Structure 1
Amino acid sequence: MTSKRYASPLLGWIMWGLVAHLYLVGFFQRVAPAVMVDELMADFQIGAAVLGNLSAAYFYAYAAMQIPSGMLADAIGPRRLSTYAALIASLGIFAFALSPYLWLAYLGRFMIGASVAVAFVACMKLAGHWFPTNRFATITGVALLMGNLGGILAGIPLSEAIALFGWRSSMVVSGFVTLVGAMLIWVVVRDDPSERGYASFAYAAQLDGKKLSARESLQRVVKQRDTWLLFFAGGLSAAPLLVFAGLWGVPYLTQIYGMERSQAAGLTSTMLLAWAIGGPSLGAISDRFRRRKLPYLAANVSAALLWGLFLFADIPQPLLYPLFAAMGFASGGLIVGFAFAREANHPAVAGTVGGVVNMSILGFAALLQPLLGFVLDRHWDGTLLGGTPSYSADAYFFAFLWLFSCVLLSVLALIPVTETRCDMSTEEL
Structure 2
Amino acid sequence: MSTTTDTDRPAAEYRHHPGARILHGPHRTIGGVEAWIIWALCALFVVWLFAIQTGYAVVSPEIQKSASLTVAQISLASSVYTWAFALCQFFSGALLDRFGTRPLLAIGVAFVTAGAFLYAQTTNMATLVIAQIVLAVGSSFGFVGAGYVGGQWFPAARYGLMFGLVQTLASLGSAVGQPAISWQLDHMTWQQLLNGFGAMGVLLIVLFALLVRNPTPGPETLRQATARPPLFASIFKDLGKCFANRNVVLSSVLAGVSFGSMLAVGVLWGPG
2:7 counterpart residue number: none
Question: Could you tell me how far 1:61 is from its partner in structure 2?
Answer: 1.8
Count of aligned positions: 242
Alignment of 1:28-43 (within 5 A): 28-43=51-66
Q: Residue deviations 1:257-289, cap 9 Å, x none?
A: xxxx5xx2xxxxxxxxxxxxxxxxxxxxxxxxx
The answer to whether 1:177 aligns with 2:200 is yes
From the superposition, tell whether residues 49 and 240 of structure 1 become closer, same or farther in structure 2 (CA, over 3 Å): same
Inter-partner Cα distance in structure 2 for 1:175 and 1:15: 21
Task: Answer yes or no: is the 8 Å Cα contact 1:26–1:113 preserved in 2.
Answer: no
> Which of 255, 260, 269 matches 1:234?
255
- Output the amino acid matched with 1:11: E
Residue 249 of structure 1 corresponds to 269
Give the AA of the match of 2:234. Answer: E
C-alpha offsets along residues 317-370 of structure 1, whole Å, 9 cap, x if unaligned?
A: xxxxxxxxxxxxxxxxxxxxxxxxxxxxxxxxxxxxxxxxxxxxxxxxxxxxxx
TM-score w.r.t. length of structure 2: 0.80
Contact kept, 8 Å, 1:22 with 1:82, in 2: the verdict is no
> Does the alignment pair 1:191 with 2:214?
yes
Q: Which moved more, 1:217-226 or 1:28-37?
A: 217-226
Equivalent residue for 2:133?
A: 110
Unaligned segments of structure 2, at least 5 residues: 1-10, 12-25
Once residues 218 and 14 of structure 1 are traced to their aligned partners in structure 2, the CA distance between those partners, rounded to angstroms, is: 34
Amino-acid identity (%): 20
Q: 1:143 aligns with which of 144, 148, 166?
A: 166
Counterparts in 2 of 1:228 and 1:158: CA distance versus 1, 3 Å: same
Distance 1:107 1:153 in 2: 27
Cα distance in 2 for residues equivalent to 1:17 and 1:37 = 30
Separation in structure 2 between the aligned mates of residue 52 and residue 154 of structure 1, nearest angstrom? 21
Question: Which one of the candidate residues 117, 123, 146 is aligned to 1:100?
Answer: 123
Match of 2:223 in 1: 208
Q: 1:139 deviation in Å?
A: 1.3
Give the Å deviation of 1:33: 1.6
Give the match for residue 238 of structure 2: 220
- Which residue number corresponds to residue 76 of structure 1? 99
- Distance change >3 Å, CA 149–CA 186, structure 1 → 2: farther
**Post-superposition CA distance 1:208-243 (Å, at most 9, x none):** 334343222442354142433332232121111112
Superimposed CA distance per residue, residues 19-75 of structure 1 (whole angstroms, 9 cap, x where no aligned partner): 232222221111112112431232233333222112233222211111121221122
Separation in 2 of the partners of 1:140 and 1:249?
26
Alignment of 1:365-384 (within 5 A): none
1:49 aligns with 2:72: yes
Matching residue's letter, 1:177: M
- 2:181 maps to which residue? 158
* 3-state SS of 1:165 partner: coil
Label 1:134 to 1:221 Cα distance change in 2 as closer, same or farther (>3 A). Answer: farther
Aligned-residue Cα RMSD (Å) equals 2.4
Task: Between 49-58 and 79-88, report the one with greater CA deviation.
Answer: 49-58
For the 8 Å contact 1:15–1:189, the answer to whether it is kept is: yes
Distance in 2 between residues matched to 1:96 and 1:42, nearest whole Å = 14
1:234 is matched by which residue type in structure 2? Answer: A
Q: 1:92–1:108: 8 Å Cα contact kept in structure 2?
A: yes
Aligned to 1:296: none
Q: Distance in 2 between matches of 1:22 and 1:137?
A: 19
Quick one: which amino acid aligns to residue 238 of structure 2? R
The 1-side partners of 2:257 and 2:47 are apart by 22
Paired residue type of 1:165 = M
Matched letter for residue 145 of structure 2? A
Greater relative contact order: 1 or 2 (C-alpha under 8 angstroms, separation 6 or more)?
A: 2
Distance change >3 Å, CA 94–CA 236, structure 1 → 2 = same
Matched residue, 1:27: 50
5+ residue gaps, structure 1: 251-260, 265-429
Shift of 1:177: 0.4
Do 1:222 and 1:228's aligned partners in 2 also have CA atoms closer than 8 Å? Answer: no
State the one-letter code of the partner of 1:29: I
- Taking structure 1 as the reference length, the TM-score comes to 0.52
Equivalent AA in structure 2 for residue 66 of structure 1: Q
